[in-house]
Amino acid sequence: MKVAVVGGGSTYTPELVSGLARERERIEVDELVLQDIDPERREVVGGLAGRMLERAGYEGRLEITDELERAVDGADFVLVQIRVGGQEARLGDETIPLACGCIGQETTGAGGFAKALRTVPVVLGIADEVRRRAASGAWIIDFTNPVGIVTRALRDAGHRAIGLCNVAIGFQRWFAVRLGVDAERVVVDQVGLNHLTWVRAVRLDGEDVLPRLLAEHGDEIAAEVELPRRLIDELGVIPSYYLHYFYAHDEVLAEQLAGVPRAETVMEIERGLLDLYRDPSLDEKPALLEQRGGAFYSEAAIGLAASLATGDEAVHVVDVRNEGTLDGLADDDVVELPARVGREGAVALEQVPLAPELLGLVQHVAAYERLTAEAAATGDLGLAKKALLTHPLIGQAALAEQLLESLLEAGAERVRGAAA
């Protein structure tokens, strides 16, 4: 089996390599290719990956390359984990909206919109190469944000793709610790859109223990998702962390205006990680990687790939077409929910309808995602403006126009700077 990682120079990659080495009984990879266009990251991250695999006794082949065609040629799985424009572009995504009085976040609202515009065309180009060169029946696993929009664009273009996020597996591991059980016994019924989900049930050996978790650990849960305990009790579900951008909008905006952008913090962490990765004696992922984000990404990605390869029908929380699963959404909307995964893909588990207070927000953001995916794929600025107008964190005509102009100008400046 050949696995290609596009964006293999990411500081996340040692997490993935660690998982591949650890889970060889679940998925045996004969060839691993790390592809990246950044020569420094390619060398530094690739060097650590090689040392980690050697320590683990990996007998397959590791290749480091900048050539996409070479990387995906004959691949059975292509994991896409790119950041178009790097952390500098992320900084713009987080600060330009603030100047317009909007929340600045790299996947939600105006920041996520900007990221989608520059990311979707690149990912579609990668997918076209996968279609031409990869093995028959190859799967694209997308970890590139905004996952829901990117996955929708891939599926709209007819690609064999599944989106993946680490929020659900993070909840699963967190709940398992509080319950004092192995994580494999816990199934998280997380439903909605990517970065707009609610946990409606937590099943331990098939029994829903969400009420118990709320009763015994409600204050901890509220702190984890940065929302008031009383709100969680009233909703009767656990919102993902990203819901605090909606439910506590004014508070979050005030904090962002007074604080340091997350992108600056991540830049500092990445500089430290790359310095560590350069150490020729380092042959395991460093503890600092836990501060980067993306916890349990390797377990999620490897588990999903293993189910697709073996057809074990395990349940994973993934981003797939709705296809009638959630009432009130179109069949072609991309939703995030538990699904049984086999060789032919993911089949969503049956879901009861979303409560009105959840469904209304989901429908609103699903309409925005539809418009954004099409605008990013076609370059239609009219659709782009409609997308901003549709998003519940924006929703005003003058503001949508101002944001679009500012974001496009910043994008053009980055292009000119790269060309110079």
DSSP H or E segment with residue 334: strand 334-342
Q: Which of 12, 58, 241, 242 is catalytic?
A: 242
Q: What is the DSSP string of 163-221?
A: E--SHHHHHHHHHHHHHTS-GGGEEEEEEEETTEEEEEEEEETTEE-HHHHHHHHHHHH
Residues 6+ apart with CB under 8 A from 128: none
* H-type alpha helices, 6-146: 13-22, 39-55, 68-72, 86-99, 109-133
Please work out, in degrees rounded to the nearest 5, the angle formed at the alpha carbon of residue 399 by the alpha carbons of 397 and 403: 120
State which amino acid sits at residue 411.
G
The b-or-e profile of 58-87 (16+ CB within 10 A means b, else e) is: beeebbbbeebeebbbebbbbbbbbbbbeb
> Is 297 among the catalytic positions?
no
In the numeric block, which tokens belong to residue 357?
């207070």
Cα–Cα distance, 178 to 102 (Å, whole number): 36
Q: Is 227 helix (H, G, I), strand (E, B) or coil?
A: coil
State which amino acid sits at residue 324.
G
Using an 8 Å Cβ cutoff, are 120 and 376 in contact? yes
**Spatial CA neighbour of 199 closest among 380, 336, 343:** 336
**Spatial CA neighbour of 105 closest among 277, 358, 293:** 293
User: Is the alpha carbon torsion for 85, 90, 91, 97 positive or negative?
Assistant: positive
Partners of 77 in the β-ladder: 3, 139
Please identify every residue annotated as catalytic: 242
